[in-house]
Amino acid sequence: MDTLTDEQQKLKQQFTVERGYWNDFWNGLLTLSPDFFKAYLEFSTIPWRSGPLAPKVKEFIYIAIDAATTHLYEPGLRIHIQNALRYGATKEEIMEVYQLTSVLGMHTCTMGVPALLDELRTAGRGAELEGELSPEQLDLKARFTENRGYWNPFWDGLLRLDPRFFKAYLEFSTIPWKSGPLEPKVKEFIYIAIDAATTHLYEPGLRIHIQNALKYGATKEEIMEVYQLTSVLGMHTCTMGVPVLLDELKRAGN
């Protein structure tokens, strides 16, 4: 690796001060493309200069989008766990971020069940899915609404098709809502981040969790900061790609 120039050293120092950390994988980008690094520094530090969220909450957002099943980016995950711990996060808080993020797979059903119901009706096989909910189904609906703090009509379809599976999901998804340490609006920020991330872009869930966050007292500035933090996800093209490029250049004798 070439020695950093004075200008590159200044950029490294500025990144360390404004973002609160440094990792060696940034050296490659700083050497190969200092102008791009400088532009990324300006882009990524906006929410760190004046944003309303506490530093550890910012790191929870990064942890969520790195650990989400749509990304699974361990290098960034480790860095942001280290940062969160340095800012005072507890293992219980980080575990709750994991628990909240783990529900992402349920979008298979929240997207898939309405499509299945439409096709059943088109095929003339939807009659058994109409009518009133059973007492058991109504009880599950009431429990979900109480435990999760909301209800959306797309849950009705899953409740009709497979109440046992719905019940299992209810128990699974409400664990962090029963006794978790994060305040409700921060839980909703985690959902907003993983739904709005470029690896998922799931608008139905995003709208629900924005509504929930606002209900819990979130401000537009806080939600915009969640977006700003989540928007840096694309930089993993470089944090993964630049070390590979450097390895291949070395292998090729360049």
**Tens digit of each residue's pLDDT (9 = 90 or more) over 44-75:** 999 999 899 999 999 999 999 999 999 999 99
For the packed helices 91-101 and 74-86, what is the interaxial angle rounded to 10 degrees? 140
Q: What is the number of alpha carbons within 13 Å of residue 37 lying toward its C-beta? A: 22
> Exposure pattern of 88-101 as b/e (b: 16+ CB <10 Å)?
ebeeebbebbebbb
Amino acid identity, residue 132?
Answer: E
Residue ranges of the chain with per-residue pLDDT less than 70: 1-2
Percentage with pLDDT > 90 across the chain: 94
Half-sphere exposure (Cβ direction) of 125: Cα atoms closer than 13 Å: 6
CB within 8 Å of 43: residues ≥ 6 apart:
231, 232
Spatial neighbors of 120 by CB under 8 A, at least 6 apart, are 126, 129
Amino acid at 162: D
The per-residue pLDDT for 46 is 97
pLDDT at residue 250 in the model: 95
CA distances from 39 to 8, 33, 46, 77 (A): 13, 10, 11, 23
> Could you give the CA distance from residue 217 to residue 223 in angstroms, rounded to a whole number?
11
In this predicted model, what pLDDT tens digit does every residue of 212-250 receive, in sequence order?
999 999 999 999 999 999 999 999 999 999 999 999 999
Cα(202)–Cα(105) distance, integer angstroms: 12
Q: Which pLDDT value is given to residue 179?
A: 87
Q: What is the pLDDT of residue 127?
A: 80
